[in-house]
Amino acid sequence: MSIYTGPVFEMCRNQFLQIADHLQIGPDERDRLLYPKRAIAVSCPIHRLDGSVTLYQGYRVQHHLSIGPTKGGTRFAANLDLGEVAALAVWMSWKCALAGLPYGGAKGGVAVDPASLHPQELEALARRYMQEMIPFVGPHTDVMAPDIGTNEQVMAWFMDTYSMYQGRTVTEIVTGKPVGSGGTEGRREATGLGVVHLIGRALEKLGQDFSGRSVIVQGMGNVGGVAALELHRRGARIIGAGDHTASYYDPKGLDVEALLAHQGKHRVLAGFSEELAIPSEQLLEQPCDVLVPAAVERVINGENAGRIRCRILAEAANGPTTPEADKVLAERGDEIFVIPDILCNSGGVIVSYFEWVQDLQQLFWHRGEVLSRLHALLDRAFEEVTSRAAREGISNRMAAMAIGVQKVRDAKRIRGLFP
Ligand code: NAD
């Protein structure tokens, strides 16, 4: 029996079992590699503007402490539950290990729709959540970052709350902060730019470049919005884009800048155009060269995987493709080049790591240095994944996860049962 339940954790567990079989990991090691070291659940009551009090449930899961502190995002989303947070923490461990970062994975969040809160209520909730987490986090214990529903401002509130309790400014407690508050150049764009860099590497492998390539992006937030704009700037055609409120499709190419300007003004894509609107469930199924799911988990599943029509699947979101969908895609035999999530979106945690290093040293790098170091780590991971996949005749996803799991396993073997 486990406290980690639900479809997202089940998906993560299934993936792990496949890797464990591939790496011939015995029963003694399996549970220790899969199940989190620690899970914290907290109640976060806040005063609402109307004078009432509402209580929100918060979580933080720290997967393993065998390599260094844990590291991971904080998600504010209405239906968040412990199983989802735990799965995201596990994936984060493999992602950090694959990128060669000295971290275990973590994830946290609050079950709340941030759009339902006034900015003052959001600040109260962010501060209360961090206050509840203070005994369990620290610059050398667990370092938070943004994820769905949180942003630079929320990270600044986290940092300020933690700092006030310490009696000094501790910028290294969170990453993804504004540059003026100890953040790093390039962090805001890091995940999206990393996705585009890796799409470039995949296109190279196929003997192609960005020019005229058709792209569909699901989720136009921090990751998808940056990726769409950069792809457009590099000459690709964004033929489809959507968020949780609306989806648009134009085979001639959407006006990405106008789309993002509309989103900037109205917070959502709904209302951009009636003429170009398509039902959101059809967005992922339109033919394109590059498909970029950049929203939530399990959007490509056993039901729709047969209808996906792309050459490159760049998994900007965490866990967008279920193991059932992987099977369907593999059986189709039309060779979609998958850039698996733990590689594809690792630019975020890589630049978060750079931010942490800079904060610890109080020595800051310029944007060019951040991006060239980012590209170097992404290139190394991309080569490792694609060469292992070719060598062992396995998918890019299996190769990426095998590398991540193996590195965590090696660290645990050396240290013993404690961490
Ligand atoms: P965000 O909140 O900035 O944006 C999320 C976007 O997805 C929004 O446009 C939202 O409308 C859309 N969306 C949500 N539910 C949807 C649905 N059901 N259908 C279609 N669109 C939907 O979040 P983000 O930071 O851009 O994160 C997006 C994904 O990338 C998540 O899976 C996250 O875990 C992953 N990720 C983010 C980072 C980072 O640095 N922010 C790093 C690594 C991975």
Confidence of residue 419 (pLDDT cuts 50, 70, 90): confident
Please, what's the b/e burial string for 317-348 (b: 16 or more CB within 10 A of its CB; e: otherwise)? bbbbbbbbbbebbeeeeeeebbbbbbbbbbbb
Domain 188-344 grouped into CATH 3.40.50.720:
yes
Q: Whose CA is nearest to atom 23 of ligand 1?
A: 148
Rounded average pLDDT over 396-412: 97
- How many percent of the chain have pLDDT more than 70? 100
Q: Cβ(5)–Cβ(13) under 8 Å?
A: no
The CATH architecture to which 7-185 belongs is: 3-Layer(aba) Sandwich (3.40)
How confident is the prediction for the chain on average, in pLDDT? Answer: 97
Catalytic residue among 37, 71, 95, 107: 107
Closest Cα to atom 2 of ligand 1:
148
Q: How many helices (H) and strands (E) are present in the chain, helices listed first?
A: 14, 12
Give, using CA atoms, the residue closest to atom 30 of ligand 1. Answer: 317
Query: Cα of 219 to ligand 1 centre, how many Å?
Result: 6
Q: What angle do CA 276, 280, 285 make, to 5 degrees?
A: 95
Please determine, for residue 213, whether its predicted confidence score (pLDDT) is greater than 70. yes
Residue 60 contacts residue 137 (beta carbons within 8 Å): yes
Which of 75, 88, 90, 148 is the pocket-test mutation for ligand 1 (most atoms within 8 Å of CB)? Answer: 148
Q: What angle do CA 29, 343, 187 make, to 5 degrees?
A: 120
Specify the residue with its C-alpha closest to ligand 1, atom 42. 348
CA distance 302 to 147: 26
> What angle is formed at CA 315 by the lines to CA 309 and CA 319, rounded to 5 degrees?
110
Residues 296-351: pLDDT tens digits? Answer: 999 999 999 999 999 999 999 999 999 999 999 989 877 899 999 999 999 999 99
Per-residue pLDDT, 1: 59
Q: Could you tell me if 182 and 359 are in contact, meaning their C-beta atoms sit under 8 angstroms apart?
A: yes
Q: How far is CA 109 from CA 47, 62, 158, 346, in A?
A: 19, 12, 12, 19
In angstroms, the CA 180 to CA 369 distance is 18
State which ligand 1 atom lies nearest to the alpha carbon of 176: 40
Q: Are strands 53-62 and 142-146 parallel, antiparallel or unpaired?
A: unpaired
Stretch 226-237: mean pLDDT:
98
**Where do we find the tokens 């759009």?**
115
Beta-carbon count within 10 A of 260 CB: 18
Residues 6+ apart with CB under 8 A from 86: 4, 9, 12, 36, 39, 61, 63, 107
* pLDDT above 90 coverage of the chain, percent: 97
- In the predicted structure, residue 81 carries a pLDDT above the cut 80: yes
* CA dist list (Å): 188 to 70, 178, 294, 314, 366: 21, 8, 15, 19, 14
pLDDT at 335: 87
Residues 132-171 pLDDT 10s: 999 999 999 999 999 999 999 999 999 999 999 999 999 9
Residue 296 alpha carbon to ligand 1 centre in Å: 6
In angstroms, what is the span from residue 245 Cα to ligand 1's centroid?
Answer: 13
Atom 43, ligand 1: which residue's CA is nearest?
Answer: 345
Kindly state the average pLDDT of the residues 74-103: 97
Q: Determine contact, residues 353/125, Cβ cutoff 8 Å.
A: no
Q: Residue 382: pLDDT above 70?
A: yes
- The order of strands in the sheet holding 53-62 is 38-47, 53-62, 104-111, 70-77, 142-146
Ligand 1, from 143, 222, 353: best to mutate by most atoms within 8 Å of Cβ? 222
Residue list, ligand 1 pocket, CB within 6 Å: 146-149, 191, 218-224, 242-244, 294-296, 316-318, 345, 348
CA 224–ligand 1 middle distance (angstroms):
7
Closest CA to 401 of 84, 17, 104: 17
Q: Domain spans of the chain?
A: 7-185, 188-344
107 is catalytic: yes
pLDDT in tens, 12-57: 999 999 999 999 999 999 999 999 999 999 999 999 999 999 999 9
Report the alpha-carbon distance of residue 399 to residue 405 in Å, rounded: 10
**Which residue reads 């959507």 in tokens?**
242
Whole-number Å distance, alpha carbon 153 to ligand 1 midpoint, is 17
Ligand 1 atom closest to 247 (CA): 20
Tokens for 145, please give them.
């970052």
- Pick the closest to residue 336 from 318, 316, 309 (CA basis): 309
Confidence of residue 268 (pLDDT cuts 50, 70, 90): very high
pLDDT band with cut points at 50, 70 and 90 for residue 62: very high
Cα separations (Å) of 50 from 43, 78, 113, 117, 119?
A: 20, 21, 18, 12, 14
Predicted TM-score of the model (pTM): 0.96
pLDDT at 403: 98
For ligand 1, atom 37, the nearest C-alpha belongs to 147
Mutating to test ligand 1, I would choose from 191, 220, 355 the residue with most ligand atoms within 8 A of its C-beta, which is 191
Which residues face 339 on adjacent strands?
314
Instruction: Answer whether residue 191 shows pLDDT above 80.
Output: yes
CA dist 161 to 59, 70, 130, 168, Å? 17, 20, 7, 11
Q: Phi and psi (nearest 5°) for 144?
A: -85, 165
